[in-house]
Amino acid sequence: MTGVAPIRAVVFDVGHVLYGWDIGALYEKLIPDRARRDWFLTHVVTAEWHFQHDRGRSVRETVPELIARYPAEAELIRAYAPRWLETITGPVPGMHELVAELDDAGVPLFAITNFSDEFWAMFRPTAPIFDRFRDVVVSGAEKLWKPEAPIYRLARQRFGLAAGEGLFVDDRIENVRAGKAEGFPGHHFTGVAPLRQRLVAEGLLR
């Protein structure tokens, strides 16, 4: 992309970049039998079912709908929302230290995340790393979704970044490509070491 400003900020995805996330981490505690648990995660509480919350649907709607489809699984389905924090598997190794380095170096930090607004309200108080961030665009709150273009346009406006100024870090290549098309140079996240190399190359870290 020509005619863009130099990179001066970093814009992070959250899931699988800053924090691990796995629905199975909750249901390992609730369904000891591996075969039954695999069936449940493949047919009942699936990632695809969850993602509608990231688009803005409420569990007040989606949980009764799912129970109506699988009434025998009602107790396990009802456990999902109140115990959702148990799907967070912890910080991605090395990433919180990297965020702290960037913040200490004065690099502006932002995030664009596909995340339910209800679950974000639960999660954010447990995640003080975001105290270092100037703003976070949450898909469920905005009813916008990566990799669709409007969420990136909103983020650029909210963050006050010109084209080229925000390095967008995401583990999904389709999100990286979509961000690039909307003025965010991208980094496909595969681990902390390659990201650190990129940040040094961009002059954001030494």
Region of residue 183 (phi > 0: left; psi between -120 and 50: alpha; otherwise: beta)? left
From the CB of residue 45, how many other CB atoms can be counted at a distance below 10 Å?
A: 22
- Contact (Cβ atoms closer than 8 angstroms) between residue 165 and residue 3: no
pTM to 2 decimal places:
0.93
- Contact (Cβ atoms closer than 8 angstroms) between residue 32 and residue 96: no
Percent share of the chain, pLDDT over 70: 98
The pLDDT of residue 180 is above 60: yes
Instruction: Note the pLDDT tens digit of each residue in 105-141.
Output: 999 999 999 999 999 999 999 999 999 999 999 999 9
The structural domains of the chain, with segments of one domain joined by +, span 9-18+92-201, 21-87
Label the pairing between strands 88-91 and 166-170.
unpaired
- Contact (Cβ atoms closer than 8 angstroms) between residue 178 and residue 114: no
| CATH level 3 topology of 9-18+92-201 | Rossmann fold (3.40.50)
Cα–Cα distance, 109 to 1 (Å, whole number): 22
Structure tokens at 72: 């025998």
Label the pairing between strands 9-12 and 109-113.
parallel
DSSP string, 5-70: PPP-EEEE--BTTTEEE-HHHHHHHH---HHHHHHHHHHTS-HHHHHHHHTT--HHHHHHHHHHH-
For the CA atoms of 132, 51, 182, 161, the dihedral, rounded to the nearest 10 degrees, stands at -20
Q: What is the pLDDT of residue 84?
A: 98
Q: What is the pLDDT of residue 3?
A: 59
The pLDDT of residue 10 is above 90: yes
Tell me the HSE value of 104 on the side-chain side, using a 13 A CA sphere: 8
DSSP state of 84: G
Question: In the predicted model, what is the mean pLDDT of the chain?
Answer: 97
The pLDDT of residue 42 is above 50: yes
Structure tokens at 57: 């649907």
The pLDDT of residue 4 is above 90: no
Structure tokens at 2: 């020509």
